[in-house]
């Protein structure tokens, strides 16, 4: 077996490692927390750290909130203007029928007894 390479120092202060991604300066990083807040940042603007450090704080979490997802996103150099937004074809999905089907699958109080 190999000896391995230590990548980060886990302490009570830093907490556990949530995600690790292989990125380049041409990527963006998106972090989404369980309360629904999403942030997107350029990888090129992040501070580079050496091995066995405590890392860099990228998001502040409120008490009880946790990270839901972390992903790399291709950086889009082209700015979106109003004309691009007007050309977007958005499809609205009616979820009422699906909700009714879910409610029909639940046993009524008569069926439970």
67-74 and 27-33 strand pairing: antiparallel
The per-type count for the chain, helices as H runs and strands as E runs, is: 3, 3
Structure tokens, 10: 């886990």
Q: What is the pLDDT of residue 53?
A: 73
Pairing of the two strands 38-42 and 27-33: antiparallel
pLDDT of amino acid 102:
47
Handedness of CA 31, 38, 26, 53 (dihedral sign): negative
pLDDT at 99: 46
C-alpha pair distances (Å), 44 with each of 27, 29, 32, 58: 8, 10, 19, 13
Which run of H or of E encompasses 99? Answer: helix 96-105
Q: Which residue has the tokens 């940042």?
A: 41
Separation CA 47–CA 56 (nearest Å): 7
pLDDT at position 73, please?
A: 87
Query: From first to last of its 113 residues, what are the pLDDT tens digits of the chain?
Result: 678 777 777 888 877 778 888 888 999 989 998 988 889 999 899 888 777 777 778 888 888 888 888 988 888 755 555 555 555 454 444 444 444 444 445 454 454 44
Q: What pLDDT does residue 60 have? A: 84
At residue 7, the pLDDT reads: 72
């Amino acid at each position: 077996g190999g000896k391995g390479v230590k990548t980060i120092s886990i302490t009570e202060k830093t907490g556990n490692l949530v995600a690790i991604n292989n990125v380049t300066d041409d990527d963006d990083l998106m972090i989404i927390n369980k309360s629904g807040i999403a942030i997107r940042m350029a990888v090129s603007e992040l501070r580079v750290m050496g091995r066995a450090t405590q890392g860099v704080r990228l998001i502040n979490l409120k008490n009880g909130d946790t990270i839901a997802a972390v992903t790399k996103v291709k950086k889009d150099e082209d700015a979106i203007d109003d004309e691009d937004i007007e050309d977007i074809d958005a499809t609205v999905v009616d979820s009422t029928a699906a909700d009714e089907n879910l409610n029909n699958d639940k046993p009524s109080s008569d069926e439970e007894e």
